[in-house]
């Protein structure tokens, strides 16, 4: 059933230990994070995953990458069921699935030079011979994401936030993956840097045929990059569809509320609404 | 009527090793009583430094010149003690990161009461009663419980409400709000913007609203100043600036802002040629200033 999809989930569920409710003895009770998630991402397709804080969008992204093991439902990657695989069995697939993190400063090792950071996945999967080839490949990857190659000798703290996010992208595409999860990667950036990163991702997606899961609380950003969108509320999908259609005519009240809450650069008296919450 | 805050030719240079780096290059800006004035720009444009200079919180290494007129006098001429006396009742800050601004080991109620006891000289009981009223004003439910809680027990939106309560607690003439909703979800952001507007509408407090988000400016501000490389490139009522932006940079910022109601390809980064031209202008400005200083 999963042919032609890169990622597919059916009835996917995730429950994690509720540390806050842990009794002094015994195991912590679990709390449901995701429930009955159905979704499908075709090759080269990009899916926006949107919702408020706590809706489960980050957990969903991590589950799709099998950073969490789902506690229910089924999950396929490139036609293979991966929901219950153990780590040694997953490991070869990891090269095909990558992540770009929200905060590149904490996602990049402060004691490593940029060249080492970008070449790290290549070394981990034995794709380079020796340091010199790693540096050359890293330089080429930096140029691919619009950075000067001589950045390989710098450290993360010596470059700007936008440059760091490009480094995160260069590292994510180093192994030529089929699927990338990008978690709130532009929410800390200025609009002009944000626009550069979004257009870069759009070009990479087109040129490399990347399938993308793009997690964001900002539906305007999703509109720029994604073909399809799922809207999460308390761990469940309340709406899914083509971006254009969903934005033009949202069916679910929660989707409508999320869209209405975005401040468009248009003067609109009354947008703030009345004083009650 | 005189504006509450009037900034003329504000320069701010920061000492960096062997030279001085210009951060503000002659900022002019005026905020009237009751007005919400947006100061919008990118990281490094100097918007936060304008707010800090107004509050008297510029870094020690900064050389500040120009005029900041507030409540009839020039702030830059005031001794430290007199400037500090203005904080609280004269001017207050709503910071970006409420968790960093609150003391993690003191209860919420005590932190708000501090302001009232210090600046308004309220007694313990009067302050405690007023704290409950203030929390009610910022629409916190069950304020009796919240006063006994610690910052980590509250959500980001609740913490920002507490900071807003603190800023408005002494009815200041001016509030500097520095990216107060940047860390929040869009739905929470809207509620916080609504709250700031509502509290402002019932007072003549002027608000200098610092943000990088033109969407937020359109929704909450009366007027806006666009800052780039330490200079105001355009200032206008929001109705004018969004209908007909005059400066190339303002237009480029608008095109770089993603919009869910526009096709995906309508988004464009700021053109490199424009960025280069603006950088040249700033460099020429610094040269002229250095020459004038050498002549003078």
Q: Does B213 touch chain A (CB under 8 A)?
A: yes
8 Å CB contact of A192 and B185: no
Token pair recorded at residue B113: 């009461």
8 Å CB contact of B198 and A275: yes
Looking at residue A274, its pLDDT comes to 59
Reported pTM: 0.89
Looking at residue B15, its pLDDT comes to 86
CA–CA distance, B153 with A156 (Å, rounded to integer) = 33
Tell me which residue of B13, B7, B51 sits closest to B179, measured CA to CA. Answer: B51
Q: Does B187 touch chain A (CB under 8 A)?
A: yes
Strand positions, DSSP E, chain A: 7-17, 30-41, 46-50, 72-77, 80-81, 97-100, 179-183, 211-216, 228-233, 236-242
Looking at residue A276, its pLDDT comes to 47
Chain B residues with beta carbon closer than 8 angstroms to that of A273: 190, 194
Coil/strand/helix, residue A168: helix
Percent of chain A with pLDDT over 70: 97
- Min Cα distance A30 → chain B (Å) is 21
Lowest mean pLDDT among A15-29, B135-149, B237-251, B281-295: A15-29
Token pair recorded at residue B290: 């250095």
pLDDT in tens, B1-37: 689 999 999 999 998 888 889 999 999 999 999 999 9
Mean pLDDT of B130-143: 94
What residue ranges of chain A have pLDDT lower than 50? 1-2, 275-277
Mutant choice from A263, A269, A273, A276 vs B, greatest count of B C-beta within 10 A = A263
Task: Say if residue B268's pLDDT is above 80.
Answer: yes
8 Å CB contact of B257 and A191: yes
Q: Could you tell me the CA-to-CA distances from B112 to B90, B163, B169, B184 in Å, in that order?
A: 17, 9, 8, 22
Chain A residues with beta carbon closer than 8 angstroms to that of B258: 191, 194-195, 198, 218, 220-221, 223-224
Q: Could you tell me the CA-to-CA distances from B9 to B50, B69, B79 in Å, in that order?
A: 12, 11, 20
DSSP, res A27? P
Contact indicator for B55, B83 with CB cutoff of 8 Å: no
Task: Say if residue B72's pLDDT is above 90.
Answer: no
pLDDT, mean over chain B: 93
DSSP, res B153? G
Lowest mean pLDDT among A272-276, B144-148, B237-241: A272-276
pLDDT in tens, A111-148: 999 999 999 999 999 999 888 999 999 999 999 999 99
pLDDT in tens, B184-231: 888 889 999 999 999 999 899 999 999 999 999 999 999 999 999 999
Burial class for B223, CB neighbours closer than 10 Å (0-12, 13-18, 19+): buried
pLDDT in tens, A201-210: 999 999 999 9
8 Å CB contact of A192 and B42: yes
């Amino acid at each position: 059933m999963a042919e032609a999809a890169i990622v597919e989930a059916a009835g996917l569920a995730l429950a994690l230990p509720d540390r806050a409710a842990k009794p002094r003895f015994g195991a912590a009770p679990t709390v449901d994070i995701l429930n009955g998630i159905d979704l499908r991402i075709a090759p080269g397709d990009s899916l926006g995953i949107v919702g408020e804080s706590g809706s489960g969008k980050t957990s969903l992204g991590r589950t799709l990458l099998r950073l969490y093991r789902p506690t229910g439902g089924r999950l396929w990657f490139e036609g293979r069921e991966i929901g219950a695989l153990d780590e040694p069995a997953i490991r070869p697939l990891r090269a095909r699935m990558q992540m770009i993190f929200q905060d590149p400063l904490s996602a990049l090792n402060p004691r490593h030079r940029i060249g080492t950071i970008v070449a790290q996945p290549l070394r981990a999967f034995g794709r380079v011979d020796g340091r010199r080839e790693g540096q050359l490949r890293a330089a080429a990857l930096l140029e691919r994401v619009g950075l000067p190659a001589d950045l390989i000798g710098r450290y993360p703290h010596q470059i700007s936030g936008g440059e760091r996010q490009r480094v995160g992208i260069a590292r994510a595409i180093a192994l030529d993956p089929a699927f990338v999860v990008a978690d709130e990667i532009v929410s800390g950036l200025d609009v002009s840097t944000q626009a550069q990163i979004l257009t870069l991702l759009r070009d990479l997606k087109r040129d490399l045929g990347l399938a993308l899961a793009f997690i964001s609380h900002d539906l305007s950003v999703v509109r720029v990059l994604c073909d399809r969108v799922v809207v999460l509320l308390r761990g469940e999908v309340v709406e899914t569809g083509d971006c254009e259609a969903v934005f033009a005519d949202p069916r679910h009240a929660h989707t409508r509320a999320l869209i209405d809450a975005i401040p468009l650069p248009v003067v609109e008296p009354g947008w703030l609404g009345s004083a009650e919450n | 009527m005189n504006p509450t805050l009037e900034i003329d030719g504000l320069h701010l240079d920061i000492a960096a090793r062997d030279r001085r780096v210009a951060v503000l290059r002659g900022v002019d800006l005026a905020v009237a009583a009751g007005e919400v004035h947006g100061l919008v720009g990118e990281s490094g444009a100097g918007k936060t430094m304008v707010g800090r200079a107004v509050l008297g919180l510029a870094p020690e290494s900064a050389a500040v010149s120009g005029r900041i007129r507030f409540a009839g006098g020039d702030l830059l001429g005031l001794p430290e003690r007199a400037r500090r006396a203005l904080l609280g009742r004269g001017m207050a800050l709503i910071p970006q990161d409420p968790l960093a601004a609150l003391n993690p080991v003191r209860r919420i109620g005590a932190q708000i009461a501090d302001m009232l006891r210090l600046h308004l000289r309220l007694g313990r009981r009067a302050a405690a009663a007023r704290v409950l009223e203030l929390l009610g004003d910022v629409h916190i439910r069950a304020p009796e419980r919240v006063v006994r809680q610690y910052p980590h027990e509250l959500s980001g939106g609740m913490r920002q409400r507490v900071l807003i309560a603190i800023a408005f607690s002494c009815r200041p003439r001016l509030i500097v709000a520095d990216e107060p909703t940047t860390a929040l979800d869009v739905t929470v952001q809207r509620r916080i913007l609504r709250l700031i507007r509502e509290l402002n509408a019932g007072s003549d407090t002027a608000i200098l609203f610092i943000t990088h988000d033109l969407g937020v400016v359109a929704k909450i501000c009366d007027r806006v100043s666009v800052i780039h490389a330490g200079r105001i490139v355009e200032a206008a009522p929001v109705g004018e600036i969004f209908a007909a932006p005059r400066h190339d940079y303002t237009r480029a910022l608008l095109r770089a802002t993603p919009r869910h109601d526009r096709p995906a390809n309508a988004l464009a980064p700021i053109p490199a040629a424009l960025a280069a031209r603006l950088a040249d202008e700033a460099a020429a400005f610094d040269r002229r200033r250095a020459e004038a200083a050498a002549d003078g």
